[in-house]
Every structure is written in C-alpha cells, then in structure tokens.
Amino acid sequence: MGKIAFVLKGYPRLSETFIAQEILGLEKTGLDLHLYSLRHPTDARKHPIHKEISAPVTYLPEYLYREPVRLIRAWKYVRALQSYQSVFSLWFNDLKRDFTPNRIRRFGQAVVLAAELPAEITHLHAHFLHTPTSVTRYTAHLLGIPWSVSAHAVDIWTTPDWEKREKLQDCSWATSCSQMAVENLQSLAPTPEKVTLIYHGLDLERFPATPQTKSLRDGTRPDDPIQIVTVGRAVEKKGHDVVIAALSSLPKELHWRWTHIGGGELVTSLKKQATAAGLNDRIEWRGSLPQQDVIDTYQRADLFVLANRIAVNGDRDGLPNVLMEAQSQKLACIASNEAAVPELIEDGVNGYLVTPEEPQLFAEKIAYLIKEPLKRVKMGEAGRKIIEERFSHLSGIEALALKFSAKIPSKADFRAPSPQKVAI
C-alpha cells in the first residue's frame, strides 16, 4: 500500500481536534500518512493528541510572494509534465468563475505540492471541500493520482454548487459527517454512492464518563450558582449573541455563571453586548483551551447551551463536535434545531431543541433546567448512553481505513517521476 498525503487548511489547530483524532486513529490502523498544510499554525498551544501523531508535516507556501525561489523551482518542474497544460486550463476556467487572489494562491500551492510530493505517495486526501480540495484536485490532475475528500460544514455551505459538482465528479470518493450534508452532496455527485456518511464520533478513552455525580444545584444559592458552558468559536453561525440575550432575560432570582470557551473574531463585540446587559460579573471568557481543560470545564458544568444558526453567507454547523463532547460528560444540552443537531439531540430526551434566533425560547428552557436538576441529570445520562451507542470514533476510523485500503494502489508506476530525480 502506498503512502497517503493529507491536505489540510491549517495544522495543528485547537478547533479541529476531530481531524487530529482521525489522523491518529488511521495511523494506529497501519496507514502511512504525510500531512501538508496550507497555513502555519496560529494557536499558541497544542492538544496532547497532536504530540502523539507521528506523521511528518510539510507547510506549503502560505503566501506565494514570500517563497519565490521555491515556487519558481516547482513551476519549472511541473510545466514539463504532459498534464500541465490541461490542468492550467482547468484552473483558469475556475479562475474565470472565481476571480480572487485565493484561487491564484491555490494553484501556486498545488504546483509546489506536485513538485515536492514523494513518489511513494499514491493517494491525496483533503479535509474540507473548499480551498484544501482545490489544491488537492489540481495536484492530483498534475500527477495522475487518485484523491478523496472529507467535507464538513462551512466548506459545503459556502462553496457554489458548480464547484461542488465538479469536485465530486473528479474525486474517487467523498465523506461527510452529517446526514444533512451527505444529502446535499449526493444531490450534486454523479452517483449518490460516491458520498457516504461517516460521523467523527468521540474517542471515549479521551472523553471518559465524568467520575463525579452531577450537581443538583437549582439556582437558589448565590454562593453555588448553576454552571452553564458554551464551547465554540466566536463567529456568527455559533449564535453566542443569542445565548447572551437569553441569559439577560432569565429570572432575576436565579443564580448562574456562564463560561465561554473559544477564540474568534466576534469576542470583542460579544463582550460589549454582555457589558451592556450588565452580565460581566456572571461571565468568564476563557478563550481557546487545550482539550483537557475543556473536558475539566464540562465536568464541572451543569448545562451546555449552543444557539447555532445559519449565517448571512450561508455558513452553518454540521453536527457540532462540542455537543458530542458535552453529551459524553453527561451534560444536558440546549441547542437550535438547525443543521444536523437533531441527529444527536432528541428533544426532551437528552436535551432540548429550540427554534434559532429565539432568545426568549432559549431562556425558558435554560430556566426550566436550572430549576429541575433531576431532569438535567436524567438528560445527561441519556446523552452519554447515546454517545456510547452511536458516536464512538472507532466505527468511523474503521470505515475510513477500509476506504483508503480499497482505493490506494500498491505501486506508483503510473505517475510522473519523482522531482528528486529530475533536473530542475
């Protein structure tokens, strides 16, 4: 079996633990991986799981003008390939429909990747259907090797249909992590069977059931307030402004604290909203945290809230991994009945589903579960059971490993010579 190249938008990232979990799981099955990242890391810290991954990482030129020698050397090699003119035409046709610097950058990165890719790599796999797949697709066409893609959320809902259709036509196979997303992609694929559902799931060894019995706080004691938590980047689709509005309208006699975990572009405006609502002394903004710190917060919390929504640009969540994480720690969850959330949360069983953009409805459900601790505990227990039965990561890793094993050729004699053997 050949080696597999994973093409990622950025690596490592605190917000993409599910990708790291997948990479490590595939390594444990015996697959030989090499990671290629379009961007350098921006997080100051790493999750422990990143240290367990042995796959080497190569960073492609994040900005082409910063590595001109590398780019020119790669282009001199690639332009001599028989495939170059047809791939240039493919890219130029894309550029005419999407005339952006981003599209130019992706072709340059593909040129570098194609020139530098070792001969033992016989399959390319992209995470996210937008920019990483563009680089992967151009590279695969240049070298004549198969490729596949794992699609997720923002990449599906912000990529135009013409582009999704053409990428799905070209790839060997595709997966996505929610039934809703799979149905969208299947409607655009040449055959529905090309796209399959594989949930990310959780590594339950990393998310063991909380050893503590969940608190029976009921919001009546100012010295022991209810602990509410939300985990998610501060971006429009997460709906954190709706959560703040809901919290501001809770009955005054209830005592609670809200912890937000995650970085993001809207943190400053959210803090201003909280200040205007007079909630500063009840909120803790913790920023991006390593996985174990997030788990510790889940274990101390009583309730998880996520007011996910469809953003103005069409971006939305698939099945938020943070909901699975919270459920694994026996937290009752209140979330919007948007995107793929109903694939995990059954209204009234392991949490409540609320209409998006309705802070008053969120407030009513939050207030109810504050006052009904036994109901919270029962929902949390049900959530843990659902995760154990339906959302373990092992089944997903097994399904992916089978796909790679079935598709990757054992020889590389069909591809162009290795750049290392070509005089540039």
Q: Which pTM was predicted? A: 0.81
Residue 102: is it exposed, middle or buried by C-beta count within 10 angstroms (0-12/13-18/19+)?
Answer: exposed
d(C-alpha 421, C-alpha 24), whole Å: 32
- Quick one: pLDDT band at residue 409, thresholds 50, 70, 90? very low
What does the pLDDT look like over 135-158, one tens digit per residue?
999 999 999 999 999 999 889 999
336 has a pLDDT exceeding 60: yes
Residue (of 82, 123, 27) closest to 411 by Cα position: 123
> Tokens 């046709």 sit at which residue?
93
Residue (of 117, 179, 184, 123) closest to 148 by Cα position: 123
- Quick one: pLDDT band at residue 333, thresholds 50, 70, 90? very high
- In the beta sheet, which residues pair with residue 5? 34, 124
* pLDDT given at position 392: 87
Q: Going by C-beta distance under 8 Å and a sequence separation of 6 or more, which residues neighbour residue 151?
A: 128, 129, 174, 175, 176, 181, 185
Residue (of 309, 301, 311, 297) closest to 333 by Cα position: 301
What is the pLDDT averaged over residues 13-39? Answer: 92
Same fold, 3-201+392-421 and 226-389: yes
CATH of 3-201+392-421, one of 1.20.272.10, 3.40.50.2000, 3.30.565.10, 3.30.420.40: 3.40.50.2000
What does the pLDDT look like over 156-197, one tens digit per residue?
999 999 999 999 999 999 999 999 999 999 999 999 999 999
Residue 383's Cβ-side half-sphere holds a number of Cα atoms within 13 Å equal to 33
- For 105, the token pair is 């950058």
What is the pLDDT averaged over residues 67-76? Answer: 96
Spell 78-88 as b/e; 16+ CB within 10 A means b: beebebbeebb
* pLDDT given at position 111: 98
- For 99, the token pair is 């005339």
* pLDDT given at position 211: 76
- Quick one: pLDDT band at residue 46, thresholds 50, 70, 90? confident
d(C-alpha 121, C-alpha 143), whole Å: 11
How far out from the chain centre does Cα 220 lie? Answer: 38
* pLDDT given at position 44: 74
* pLDDT given at position 420: 39
What does the pLDDT look like over 337-390, one tens digit per residue?
998 999 999 999 999 999 999 999 999 999 999 999 999 999 999 999 999 999
Three-state secondary structure of 307-369? CCCCCCCCCCCCCCHHHHHHHHCCCEEEEECCCCHHHCCCECCCEEEECCCCHHHHHHHHHHH
Q: Top-level CATH class of 226-389?
A: alpha beta
d(C-alpha 143, C-alpha 166), whole Å: 18
Residue spans of the domains in the chain: they are 3-201+392-421, 226-389
3 has a pLDDT exceeding 60: yes
* pLDDT given at position 406: 67
Residue 252: is it exposed, middle or buried by C-beta count within 10 angstroms (0-12/13-18/19+)?
Answer: exposed
Cα Rg, the chain, nearest whole Å: 23
Cis peptide before 12 (omega within 30 of 0): yes
Is 365 in contact with 208 (CB distance < 8 Å)? no
DSSP 389: H
d(C-alpha 2, C-alpha 314), whole Å: 38
- What percent of the chain has a predicted confidence (pLDDT) above 90? 83
Q: What is the mean pLDDT of the chain?
A: 92
66 has a pLDDT exceeding 90: yes
d(C-alpha 27, C-alpha 37), whole Å: 18
* pLDDT given at position 18: 86
Is 400 in contact with 26 (CB distance < 8 Å)? yes
- Quick one: pLDDT band at residue 271, thresholds 50, 70, 90? very high
d(C-alpha 69, C-alpha 288), whole Å: 36
What does the pLDDT look like over 84-134, one tens digit per residue?
999 999 999 999 999 999 999 999 999 999 999 999 999 999 999 999 999
